[in-house]
Chains A and B, each alone.
Chain A
C-alpha cells in the first residue's frame, strides 16, 4: 500500500488498498488456470486491485458517505428535476424477468419486455402530443443529436440541403447549441425580450429559406412559459423549418399542456428527470425522442410494433437514421418510467406538474423577500434569483451562497445559468418536497444573505463542514490531478 494520504480531502484509491493474494475467493479452482485455458487467451498481467471483500465494501460505503444525493437531502438543482425516485421502480426493474433478459432473446420470448416498451411509448405519445417515440437515445443530449440528424435527413429528402441554420434562444437548454454545432449546423443565438420570452417578431426577422430547426425549452430556463409559442411555431413553419422541444423542463407540463399542441415537430424527454429515475452521478440516463406524424419514419430503430396482441422489434425502417444506442437502450429505465406513470395515472401526473409549479412559486415569493428575483411573475416549475445586488453591497457572489448552502446540508441550485441573469441561482424544488423542507431551505438562504451583510468572510471561506473545502476552480480546470495507478 502506498503512503496514506493525510489530507482530509483525499482518500486512497481502491488500487492503493490491499495486498497481493488478499482478494476474497469463494471458489478455489482445483487446478491452475494455465492447465485448462489455451495459452493464447491468457495474459501475463492483469493489474486489478487485490482486496478483501470487507475492504471493498468499506471503501465504497465510505465514498458514498462523502457525496450528496437526493436520498441525503434537498437538491434544488434547476432544470435537473431532482425529485424523489420511488424505490418500487427499482424493485420492478430488478425483477429477474427484466434484469436477466439477454438482449438477443427472440421477440417470442420477450413479449412482456416489448409490451413495457410499447405501453411506455404510447403513453408518452398521448401525454405529450406526438405521433411516435423512439426509446433508443440514452439521454437528452443524444436525443437532441438524433433529432437534428432526423431534421438533416428530412430536409435532404425534400431537396432542401441549404437549410443549415439552427435558432437557439438564450433561454434554451444549455446543450442545444452544442448539439446543433456537433451536427454541422450554424447556430443563431436569439436574445429574449425584457420579459424573458422569445419575441415572435424577432423570430420572423431571423427565419428564412436557410432555417432548419428552432430549438426551445418551454417553460424556458428562466422558468417562464412562452405564451406566444403558437406565433413562434407558425413563423418557423411558414419559413419551412422544424420546431424542437427540449424536454428538460417537461415536469411543468404533464396533463396540463402538450408540446405537440404547441406546434413542436420533435421533442425529447429526460425520463431520468420527469419520470423518477436516479440521476445526478452522470448516468445512466434515458432520452426518448418523440416526433410528429411527418417524421415518424426517420426515428432511430428498433421500434416496437404491435400486431394484434403480439409485439415485435422492427428494424426494417429504410428511412430511419438508425440506432444511436446499442440493443434496447437503457431498458431498465423504461420499466422504472412505466411504473411511475402507471402508479400516478393521467390525473396524478397532472397534479405532479401542478404541485411542482406551486412549490416553485411558493419559494419564489418567499425568497423575493431577501434576494432579487429578476422576473417577478408567476413562474412554472423553477425560477431564477440573482445575487447581483448582494454582490455589489457585500462582495458575496452566487458561488459563495452555493458553497454556504453545502455547509448547511443542502445541495446548491444551478448557478450562472441562464447566462442572461448575472449572479444567477436557478432553483427547482420539485413536487416531492414538503412545505417544511421548502421553509427550511428558505430560512437557511435568508440566514446566508443576512450573514453576507454582517460577516461576509464566513461565506467567502465556505464550505468548511464538507469533506472537500473551497476548491480552486481555475487550478482544477488547468491542472487537473487525475489519479489512476495499477496495483502492481
Chain B
C-alpha cells in the first residue's frame, strides 16, 4: 500500500510536506518487512537533521534497523505515543504511526525523493 500524496526515500521512509512543515514515517512495505515493532528510538526535539542522515532506530522482533530522514530540517515534535504503543507503526504507518515532524530547511531537496509511482515500482520490482 503506497499513499499517492506522499514522497518516498529508497530506504522506505515517507514524508508529507505541508508548507514549511514535514511529517516523516516508515512505509507500509517497511513495517510489513520488519514485522511486529517493539521499540522506536527517535531524535530529541530541536535537533538539526540532514537529508538521508540517521535519526533513530526501529526495533522489531526480527531486526534492529536504522531510521533515516528523507529530508533535512529541525525536529519540532516526535510521536511520543509510540513509547507506549510502538505497534501503531504496524497498524497505521501513514497515520497514527508517524515518527517525526520537522521544520523544513530546504524544500528543493524533494527532488532527491521518489514519487508514489516510482516508490511503488521499487517495492514491487
- Chain A residues proximal to chain B, CB less than 8 Å: 399, 415-416, 419, 422, 473-474, 477-478
Contacts and interface: CB of A to CB of B under 8 A. Distances in A.
Contacts of A416: 35, 62-63
A5 to B, nearest CB: 25
Interface of B: 33, 35-39, 61-63, 86-87
Contacts of A474: 36-38, 61, 87
Nearest to A473: B61
B49 to A, nearest CB: 18
A92 to B, nearest CB: 40
A478 B38 contact: yes
A477 B86 CA distance: 12
A473 B63 CA distance: 12
12 contacts: A399-B35, A415-B62, A473-B36, A473-B38, A474-B37, A474-B38, A474-B61, A477-B39, A477-B61, A478-B38, A478-B39, A478-B86
Contacts of B63: 416, 419
Nearest to A415: B62
Contacts of B35: 399, 416
B62 A477 contact: no
Contacts of A477: 38-39, 61
Contacts of B86: 478
Given A473-B36, A478-B39, 13 more contacts: A399-B35, A416-B62, A416-B63, A419-B63, A422-B33, A474-B36, A474-B38, A474-B61, A474-B87, A477-B38, A477-B39, A478-B38, A478-B86
B68 to A, nearest CB: 12
Nearest to B59: A477
A239 to B, nearest CB: 25
Contacts of B37: 474
Of all A-B residue pairs in the complex, the 10 with the closest CB atoms, nearest first, are A473-B61, A477-B38, A416-B62, A474-B36, A474-B38, A478-B38, A419-B63, A473-B36, A477-B61, A474-B87
A474 B33 CA distance: 15
B32 to A, nearest CB: 10
A87 to B, nearest CB: 36
A399 B35 CA distance: 10
Contacts of A478: 38-39, 86
A302 B24 CA distance: 53
